[in-house]
Amino acid sequence: MCGICGFVGPSDISTLKQMTDTIIHRGPDEDGYYSDGQINFGMRRLSIIDVASGQQPVHNEDQSIWTIFNGEIYNYLELRRQLENRGHRFYTDHADTEVLVHLYEEYGEDFLSHLNGMFAIAIWDRQRNQLFLARDRMGVKPLFFAFNNGQLIFGSEIKSILAHPSYVKGLNHRALYHYFTFKNIPAPLTAFQGIHSLLPGQSLFYKSGEEPLFKRYWKIKFAENSQRSEQETKEQIMDILQDAVQQRLVSDVPVGAYLSGGVDSSAVAALMAKHSNGVIKTFCLGYEDDLINKQADMHYAREMSRILGTDHHEYIMSSKEVPDAMEGIIRAFDQPFSGTVSTFFLSKLIRRHVKVALSGDGADELFGSYLAHRLAQPMQNFSLMQSRIADNSLTQGDRALLAPFSDNVPYLQGLFEQSGGDVVKWRNAILTFSENDKENLLSDEFRQSMGNESSTELLGYYFRDTTTKDPLNRILEVDWNSLLPDQVLAFVDSLSMAHSVEVRSPFLDYRLAEFVATIPGRMKIKNGVVKYILKESVRSILPKDIIDRPKEGFVLPVFHWLQKPLKPYAIDILTSSSIQRYGILNEKYVNELMRDFFGGNAALASKMWNIIMFQVWCESYLS
C-alpha cells in the first residue's frame, strides 16, 4: 500500500519530492523515485507485502517498463507462477508490484482483466514513450490527474498535484455546486479547475504532445437471473465471500478487522477468524455520549468478539474531539465533504495495533440498505396504487407491497406529490440541498457563474446510464457508480490512510459484485427486510441476534452534537466575516438556517453539517 505521484517531462527530483512529501501519511515507511528525462515517478510506501525487497518503483528484466502502484493485488501469487512458467524472471522476493510490469509485458493493456485487487497504477513504457494510468474496478483506490499546458501530472491525492509548481490553483464552481446536493464532489470533477478524478474501472494513455486517451475497461452491468433459487443464491454468495476474505488475509504484517456489531463486519470477522491461524484483533468505535443506538453497537460488537475469541479494542470518543480534528479530516479529502467521518477517529486506534484491517464496506450498496434502497420497491408499487389510494381502499395485500413503509403511507404520499412517482425526482428530494434550496444558499455572483448547471440533470444522467429496469437494482446501480466510489470508498480510503491504515473489504471483490448484479431486487430487500439474501447467506456463521438487529453502523452522531456541545464551534465557523470572505454562500440564508436549526429544527442537521464542512474546506484551502 502506497501513495503515488508523478509527471511527464524533464527530470525534476526536487519537485517530485515536494509532491511525495504531501502524501507521506500514505507511506511512512520509505520513499522511491524514478526519473529518466521523460517521466518522473515518486512514491511513499506502507510496507505490507515483501517488506524487505518490495521497494518501488519496480521494473521488468531490461528496465524498459517501470511502475509505481498503490493498493494490493490479492491474486498476485497465482499470477506470478503463471508468468514464471511463461519465462518471466523476477528480482523481488514476492512483491505484488513486480507482477504488474510482467503482466503488462505479456498482455498489454488487457493485463487489468487478470487482476483481483484494489489499485491505482502508473506504468511507463519506455519503448512506446507512453504513460499508462489505471484505477481498480470498484474505485477503492483514488487517482487524480491534471493535463496542464501539455504536461500530465498525477497523484493519489489532489494535494500532490497542488504541490507541482506548474499547476495554478483555480476553483471548479460546477463541482462545488454539486457538492451541496450530494455531500461530495461527483467524479470526474474535483473542487479544482483542471484536476480530474480517474473513474473506477478506467484507464488513461498519454504520449507527450498528444491528448490523453481514456478507456473504461470495466463497468458493472445488471442482468437479473430470475430462475436461480434462493438456496443456490445463498450458497454462491457464501462461496465467493469466503474466498474473498481468504485472499485478503495474505500479508506479511498482522491483519485486524472492523467490528461494529452489524451483519457486514461481523460476517467478515467470523470468516476471518475461521481462516486465521491465531487470535485476530477487532476494533469498534463508541461514544461517551448517552446515545442508545450506539450503545447497542458496542454491546453486539463485544458479544461477537466473545463468540469469535478476538482481541477486541474500543475507541471511545466524545464531541470534544471533533473541532480539533476537522481540519485534518478535510485535508484528508482535499475537497468539501460532509459524509461520514467516523473512520478518521477509529483509525487512530487501529494504527497502534495493525497496519491492515478488513471491513464490511460495500455490502449496503450491493444488497440494499439505505433510505433510497428501501424506497425503491414501495414507491414503484405506490405509483401503481393511485386509484385505490384515492378511494381509500388499500387492502392488506396492498400495504404489504409498501413494506417497510406499510405504516407510513403519508411519507410515501408526500414523496409522490413532490415527484409524480418519477424516480429521479423522488431520489433527488431526499438529497441534501435541492436546486431551489441552492438558489437561496449560494451568492448571486456564484449562481450566475453556474449558467444552467443542474444537480437534478446529473442525477438523471446516472439513471439513464443504468442497465436494468428492476426498481431496487436501478437505484443500486446508480449508487454503485456514484455514491459508492465518490463518497463511501472516498471516506474509507482517505480517513484511514490519513493514519497509515490499509482497509480491505471482501464485499468489494469484483466477482461478488458481478454475481450480486444478477440477483433480483426482490431477494435483496424482501418484505421490508434489508439485505435479506445476505442475511440468509450468513445465518450459518452468525448468531440470530446479530442478523436480525436493526442496522446502525459507523455513523458519527454529529447531527446530535451540533445542536448541543458543538453549537459554539458551529457558530464560530459560520461567522459573517468568514462567509463574506469567500463570496460563495449567501450570508442571510445561512444565518436563517442557523437560527431555525438552533431553535429546535433538528431536520436541518444535514444541511448544517454540509455548510460547516464546506466552510472548513474554504478556510483550509482558499485562505
- The catalytic residues are 2
Q: Is 592 left (phi over 0), alpha (psi -120 to 50) or beta?
A: alpha
DSSP labels, 179-247: HHHHSSPPTT--SBTTEEEPPTTEEEEEETTS--EEEE---------TTS-HHHHHHHHHHHHHHHHHH
Q: What's the CA gap between 570 and 323, in Å, rounded? A: 9
Tell me the three cell numbers of residue 265.
463486519
Beta strands in 415-550 (DSSP E): 502-504
Beta-sheet strand order (sheet of 2-8): 30-35, 39-45, 2-8, 151-155, 144-148, 195-197
Q: What's the CA gap between 10 and 2, in Å, rounded? A: 24
DSSP labels, 112-171: GGG--EEEEEEEEETTTTEEEEEE-SS--S--EEEEETTEEEEESSHHHHHTSTTPPP-B
H, E, C per residue of 603-622: HHHHHHHHHHHHHHHHHHHC
Q: What's the CA gap between 499 and 623, in Å, rounded? A: 25
Q: How many C-beta neighbours within 10 Å does residue 113 have?
A: 11
Residues 561, 293, 404: CA angle, nearest 5 degrees:
110
Query: Do 116 and 74 meet the contact criterion of CB atoms below 8 Å apart?
Result: yes
Q: Which residues contact 212 (CB under 8 A, 6 or more apart)?
A: 145, 147, 152, 204, 205, 206
Q: What's the CA gap between 142 and 157, in Å, rounded? A: 7
How many Cα atoms sit within 13 Å of 327 on the Cβ side?
Answer: 9
Unique residue bearing C-alpha cell 519496480: 58
Q: 494: which DSSP letter?
A: H
| 3-class SS of residue 545 | helix
Bond from prior residue into 212 cis (ω within 30 degrees of 0)? no
Q: What's the CA gap between 593 and 606, in Å, rounded? A: 11
Tell me the three cell numbers of residue 155.
497523484
Q: What's the CA gap between 623 and 618, in Å, rounded? A: 7
Q: What's the CA gap between 154 and 146, in Å, rounded? A: 6
Q: What's the CA gap between 377 and 57, in Å, rounded? A: 50
Q: Classify residue 434 by burial, with Cβ atoms within 10 Å: 0-12, 13-18, 19+.
A: middle
Tell me the three cell numbers of residue 487.
463518497
Bond from prior residue into 10 cis (ω within 30 degrees of 0)? no
